[in-house]
Chains A and B, each alone.
Chain A
Amino acid sequence: MSFLTQRLRFLPWLPAYMAVYFLFLYLPILLLPVFSFNDAATTTFPLTGFTTKWYASLAGNTAMLEAARNSLVVGVCVALLSTVLGICAARAITRYRFRGQKAAAGLIMSPLFLPEIIVAVSLLMIVLAIGLELSLITVILGQTVFCVPYAMSVLVSGFEGFDRSLEEASYDLGETAFGTFRRVTLPVVAPAIVSSLLVTFTISLDEFILAFFLAGTSPTLPLYIWGQLRFPAKLPAVLALGTIMIVLSIVMLTLAETLRRRAERRTRMASAPPQEA
């Protein structure tokens, strides 16, 4: 094979492939805003005209606002709970070595490798077997199981490389365990924690299956959307709602990513030899 054909084989094809791949990835998402501003009740081309009426119709929609409020409550609780649980696990894994570590981490991470419907069904059975009512609380408990693995991966990458000697120095200088955590550890890992809160909130906001099985009579936003999908005439308004949710998610994920990178830089700096006295 000559040098020229080898170049032809690899170089021009790959960027073209990347372009097609990204079109494939983003096309479905870009279509939502397009049809949400389209002045027709059907989602077919050609577009008929520009309108913001679908967005205006959302403002007075009490069922949607109620679902949005539920989603907010669930999202905040899930983010807090799964991040706290994630902090415990991530710290145990990055800071200590102990027997059964891999098994424990495996169990905690296993929702990533399970069909979600099985997690949902099993939670439904145990919740009803205990005699709990289905409510937003059961959704929170269920989504937390599902979000902890994501919180943990974000946090582990933030905690890794954190220099232990900083904490030891703090102990040696007479600080308590809690004081050390608050004054030495926390400032370094704070961006990772915020990043984990944002990621888990985004996942909870978008989560459908667990909410579908566990919500009882109080719908979250994805459940509200699911209900609306049965009526083709309501689709444009749903697309408007979806557009708002996507913008919100992208803003939060961007923020989370920025913070995660800052966290990585900080831990690297904190473990590097001190530059100034």
Chain B
Amino acid sequence: MTATALAAETSPDRPGRRAWRRSEEARGLAMISPTFLYALALLLLPVLVVVTYSFWTQDYLEIDRTFTLENYRQALSEPIYRDLFLRSLWISLAVSVATVVFSYPVAWFISFHGGVHRNLWLFLVTIPCWTSYLLRVMSWKVILGYGGVLNTGLINLGVIDAPLTSLLYNSNAVVITLVHSWAAFAILPIYVSLQKIDRSLIEAARDLGDSRLRAFLRITLPLSLPGVISAFLIVMIPTVGDYVTPRLVGGKDGMMIANAIQAQFGKAANWPLGAALSVTTMVLVSLSAAAVVLALRFALGRMK
């Protein structure tokens, strides 16, 4: 919308086609079109195919192309899928809340106390996120396992007598591992929005008698809200569909919806049902993300 308004303002009324072709708008469109068309063909079109398939049914190997909501009925009413949806949403919500809460102080520290080494700090934060995803998850198995690092360490310290079995192969293990995987994705947006805050506003609040905490709650936190919201979205939406983590550390009780989707495209070979599960996942996670964002805005609005 704003881009349209902007373009309408800046571009003069068009004298003719040739002039338009040489105009800024035409050149910009030509420049972005290869990437845009690529995304259209390999992202938007495939997603539309998934939506279409979700209204069809499969009979052995034949696809029946009559419109039906049967797949959605199955996806929403069968207990196994309902449980997986609820657990996936719950895990992604827990992971995004935990990631944002634990990452905020780090982003704040880098922004306010990072000094000249800010870029180095950010770099150190991002490195673990881009190295060996599979083996990082595997590593958590080594840390949380029965004879793992955490149990051995706690026994040696005398905190516990026997290894804890509640660490691995459940939802907690999935949440811990995902919080680790997505840390940088939360820190970066929060950091960016903290950097944009005019520091003199905080000084002014302090000069006028606000305590540090109050100045933080009334100035820094509300102004960093856009960063907090994008951190939420960038963590919550992708984690709902994580496949590897539940498979490796989740055990039987930590399975998530991606494992069911994969099964429909693999062993079970029911594409329309798999498609319906995918679409339902997207819709549910979008709705809950929207609810979280609204709740955050509301809560901060009340605080001021």
Contacts and interface: CB of A to CB of B under 8 A. Distances in A.
B49 to A, nearest CB: 5
B119 to A, nearest CB: 7
B36 A115 contact: no
Contacts of B46: 119, 122-123, 125-126
A119 B43 contact: yes
Contacts of A97: 3, 6-7, 10, 24-25, 28
B142 interface: yes
B234 interface: yes
B28 A96 contact: yes
A226 interface: yes
A214 to B, nearest CB: 11
Interface string B152-196: 100000000000000000000000000010010000000000000
A25 interface: yes
B137 to A, nearest CB: 8
B60 interface: no
A125 B50 contact: yes
B36 A28 contact: no
Contacts of B50: 118, 121-122, 125
B28 A107 contact: no
Contacts of B261: 117, 121
A24 B134 CA distance: 17
Contacts of A9: 212-213
B265 interface: yes
Given A86-B35, A117-B243, A206-B130, A25 B49 contact: no
A142 interface: yes
B36 A21 contact: no
A250 B123 CA distance: 10
Contacts of B133: 206-208, 222
Interface residues of B, number: 88
Contact of A6 (B212, B234, B278): B212
A6 B3 contact: no
A277 B18 CA distance: 39
Contact of B265 (A92, A96, A116, A213): A213
Contacts of A4: none
Nearest to A99: B7
A42 B1 CA distance: 59
B1 to A, nearest CB: 8
Interface stretch (B65-73, B75-83, B143-151, B218-226): B143-151
Interface stretch (A59-67, A68-76, A241-249): A241-249
A188 interface: no
Contacts of A114: 237-238, 282
Contacts of A144: 38, 42
A103 B39 CA distance: 12
B147 A44 contact: yes
Interface in A1-26: 1, 6, 9-10, 14, 17-18, 21-22, 24-26
Nearest to A123: B46
Contacts of B97: none
B42 A123 contact: yes
A119 B39 CA distance: 11
Nearest to B146: A44
Contacts of B234: 112-113
A98 interface: yes
A43 interface: yes
A246 to B, nearest CB: 5
Nearest to A225: B134
Given A6-B212, A31-B143, A86-B35, A100 B130 contact: no
A257 B126 CA distance: 11
Contacts of B6: 97
B36 A126 contact: no
Contacts of B145: 44
Contacts of A92: 28-29, 31-32, 35
Contacts of B53: 125
A258 to B, nearest CB: 10
Interface string B43-61: 1111101100100000000
A125 B131 CA distance: 29
Contact of B42 (A117, A145, A213, A254): A145
A74 to B, nearest CB: 16
Nearest to A128: B271
23 contacts: A28-B139, A32-B135, A86-B35, A101-B28, A104-B36, A112-B238, A115-B241, A117-B241, A117-B243, A117-B261, A118-B50, A119-B46, A122-B278, A123-B42, A125-B275, A126-B49, A129-B49, A145-B39, A226-B134, A229-B248, A242-B135, A246-B135, A253-B126
Interface of A: 1, 6, 9-10, 14, 17-18, 21-22, 24-29, 31-32, 35, 42-45, 84-86, 88-89, 91-93, 95-105, 107-108, 110-119, 121-126, 129, 141-142, 144-145, 148, 152, 199, 202-203, 206-209, 212-213, 222, 225-226, 229, 235, 238-239, 242, 245-246, 249-250, 253-254, 257, 261
CB-based closest 3 A-B pairs: A115-B241, A96-B28, A122-B46
